[in-house]
Each structure stands twice: as structure tokens, then as C-alpha cells.
Amino acid sequence: MAYKAILVGIGSWGEWWCEHFLPPNIKDGTLEVVAAVDRNPQALECAKKYLNLSEKQCYTDAETAFRENKADFCINVVTPAHHEEIVDLAIKYNLHILSEKPIADTLEGAVRIAEKVKRAGLKMGVTMSHRFDQDKTSLRGQLRSGRWGTLDYLVTRFTCDCRKYGSWGEFRHEIAYPLMLEGAVHHLDILADLAGAKCETIYMQSWRPSWGEFKGDCNALITMTFENGVKAVYEGAKSNAVTLNWWSHEYFRAECENGTLLLNQRKLEVFPYNPETTIAKALEGEGVPIPLLQQKKWANTWLVEKFVRWLDGGERMETNVEDNLQSVAHIFAAIESARTDQVVRVQEFLEKTREKVLSEMK
């Protein structure tokens, strides 16, 4: 039987949910959308158009929708600053939660949400869409195969021309750390996943160039170390002259003992180490191509299915809210590092925040 869901938040990304992520899951019987909510009544037109919802199934207030419709879970696609109020309502109406990233717009909020969900005995998953995209999953498969030996370090690049106000969605031009909360939250999560271990230390320098029409820092250079010794470098920028690596087309390079794996613009190739040579040279595009893995669902479409399987008693999804606190810890530890110009120990930073939040919640 299809699980019943209520979609909350149909802004620019909610529209993608209506048009792309939900229909394949409705079609194959994974779920049924019984209601949709957005404060803005015009936004609800998308739910009618792509999900065939009637006027009666569309609401401008989440509480009324939760009260009037029997559902198993809600899908939280409102802006991060409002995630917690939707979580509180979901808990009140005993709904599991599938939430957009980041869990919240503060680490304290994210820890509080995870704790509230645990105390309520509910399940909450987070859609770290890009970690589950086809290209990143293919690269992860190569690294986990062991074929290329020990992973030494990772490099990634996400550089865009979004310097004009509103070009990256208005709210991102208004918040304090848009690159971190709305961009790097994915990329640092992918780096930790590729590394195969929790992040141990992080150091960030972040800034806003004078031509970037952002209130907060929109560019950053970050270094990370992981508990298994792997290291990583991240370049993220939203105010460049040109977009070299846009969403879903990021650059990732994994330097392994027996090969250099390069993923750029969704093309994966490997440059195997040849012990017979020295000072081996190559250009991008000259490696051995690796075909991307094939399956029906990727990213959020796949994550919806993983969540429903978990509700059904299956394996806990990788991005359950407790484990996914790591992704929020990365960004706030990095912000702390930029503020203090110090390397921050990420797990200690998370634990300190957890202790503070739990003592306030008693």
C-alpha cells in the first residue's frame, strides 16, 4: 500500500518536487500525496498541475492540512529558517518527516530537531540529494571497490556566476552564509561520504567580493581532515565571472595510491598508476572512461524510495537525521573556523553543541 504524504513548501525547489521527484514514486505506488501546503496560494498551482491535487487538498496553513488529512509523513521543503516549526507540527500530528537539507539554519536547531524526533519515536530523513546523484554514486562505487588502493586526498570545485541579486533565489542573497548553508552543505557531505569517515578537523576562509550582491559570505576555501587520515580541499564560489562547475556538474578528484579518479561535468575517468613510468603526464579527457552506474531513480527520487522502505521496516536510510547532523556540523564548524581563524575539531564542536542544547531542553 502506498504511504500517504503531505508536501509542505512549494517554492522554487518544491516545484521540482511536484514536477520531477514525486511523480515517479506516485506512479510506481511508493507513495500518494494527499495534500500540499504553501503560505503563498499561488505556489499551490504547481501541486494541482503536477500532482493532480484538487482545490480542497491544497492549504495555506500546515496545521490545518495535518489535522484534516490522514498521512504517514510530511515532506518539508520550506526555507531552512522555518524547518523547525514544520517539524514541531509534524510531531504534534505524529507524522514522520522527510526533510530538505539543511536540517535547520543553526546547529543548535538541527540538534534540537534530531532530539525532538527521537523523543517522539518518529523517523526523519534528510534529502542530501547530490550525494545520491548518479555521478557521485558512481565515483563512490569506484572508491569503495578497493581497485584503486588507498584514498589519499580529495579535491572539489563548485564555482558559479550568481553574483546578481536573486540569481540564486532571493533568500540566499539575504542570509549570513549562503554558500555554506545552501551549497557547501552538500559538497562537504559528499566529501565525508567519499572519504568514508567522519570529519575530524576543518579550516575555512570565507568572504564576499565587492561585486557579489550577497549580504553574507558567498565564496570560501576549505580544508578538511577525516578520522581515517583522508584529506580534502573545497573551492566554492557564487560570484565568479563564469560558471565552471554548476549544480550536478561539480568537479571531484580523488587521488588514490593506484590511480587518479576524475569526475567533471558528469564524466568519470581514471588515470591508473603505471609503475613502469615516472613523471607520467596527462590532460583531462585522456583517462580511461568509466561509465556511470545505471538505475531508475537518483537523488531525491531515490531518497523518497529509501525513506519509504525505512518506514516499511527496511534498512535505516543513510541520511537519517541523527547521522546527518554531521552535514550541519561541517558547515557550522567551518563558520566557527572562519570567525576565529582557527582549525576546528568538528566532532568536539558537535558534542559541545549537543550538550548545550540537551541541557536547555531538559
Ligand X SMILES: NC(=O)c1ccc[n+]([C@@H]2O[C@H](COP(=O)([O-])OP(=O)(O)OC[C@H]3O[C@@H](n4cnc5c(N)ncnc54)[C@H](O)[C@@H]3O)[C@@H](O)[C@H]2O)c1
Q: Which is nearer to ligand X, 39 or 147 (CB)?
A: 39
Q: Which is nearer to ligand X, 98 or 346 (CB)?
A: 98
- Smallest distance from the beta carbon of 39 to ligand X, in angstroms? 4
- Region from 76-84, 110-118, 283-291, 329-337 binding ligand X, contact rule CB under 6 A: 76-84
Residues 263-282 that bind ligand X (CB under 6 A): none
Q: Which is nearer to ligand X, 36 or 256 (CB)?
A: 36
Q: Which is nearer to ligand X, 58 or 261 (CB)?
A: 58
Picking from 330, 308, 17, 332, the residue whose alpha carbon sits closest to that of residue 190 is 330
Asked if 100 interacts with ligand X (CB under 6 A), we say yes
* 174 DSSP 8-state letter: H
CA–CA distance, 29 with 108 (Å, rounded to integer): 37
Asked if 64 interacts with ligand X (CB under 6 A), we say no
Asked if 342 interacts with ligand X (CB under 6 A), we say no
Other CB atoms within 10 Å distance of the CB of residue 111: 26
Distances 112 to 94, 107, 355 between C-alpha atoms, Å: 17, 8, 11
Task: Examine residue 272 and say whether the peptide bond preceding it is cis (omega within 30 degrees of 0).
Answer: no
Asked if 169 interacts with ligand X (CB under 6 A), we say yes
The three three-digit cell numbers of residue 48, written as one number: 494541482
- Region from 10-18, 90-98, 137-145, 331-339 binding ligand X, contact rule CB under 6 A: 10-18
Give residues with Cβ within 8 angstroms of 173, minimum separation 6. Answer: 165, 166, 213, 214, 215
- Region from 8-16, 267-275, 334-342, 352-360 binding ligand X, contact rule CB under 6 A: 8-16
Asked if 8 interacts with ligand X (CB under 6 A), we say yes
Residues 120-139 that bind ligand X (CB under 6 A): 127, 129
Asked if 110 interacts with ligand X (CB under 6 A), we say no
Asked if 45 interacts with ligand X (CB under 6 A), we say no
- Smallest distance from the beta carbon of 232 to ligand X, in angstroms? 20
CA–CA distance, 138 with 132 (Å, rounded to integer): 9
Asked if 228 interacts with ligand X (CB under 6 A), we say no
Q: Which is nearer to ligand X, 182 or 305 (CB)?
A: 182
Picking from 194, 300, 169, 301, the residue whose alpha carbon sits closest to that of residue 252 is 194
**Residue-wise DSSP of 46-97:** HHHHHH---GGGEES-HHHHHHHS--SEEEE-S-GGGHHHHHHHHHHTT-EE
> Pick from 74, 77, 90, 350: which binds ligand X (CB under 6 A)?
77
Ramachandran sector of residue 263 (left: φ over 0; alpha: ψ -120 to 50; beta: rest): beta
Q: Which is nearer to ligand X, 39 or 253 (CB)?
A: 39
Asked if 11 interacts with ligand X (CB under 6 A), we say yes
β-sheet bridge partners, residue 156: 234, 252
Asked if 101 interacts with ligand X (CB under 6 A), we say yes
> Pick from 20, 40, 257, 274: which binds ligand X (CB under 6 A)?
40
Q: Which is nearer to ligand X, 82 or 267 (CB)?
A: 82
Contact 134, 263 (CB under 8 A): no
Give residues with Cβ within 8 angstroms of 273, minimum separation 6. Answer: 257, 258, 259, 260, 280
Asked if 14 interacts with ligand X (CB under 6 A), we say yes
* 162 DSSP 8-state letter: -
Contact set with ligand X (CB under 6 A): 8-14, 37-40, 43, 62, 77-80, 82, 85, 100-101, 127, 129, 169, 171, 182
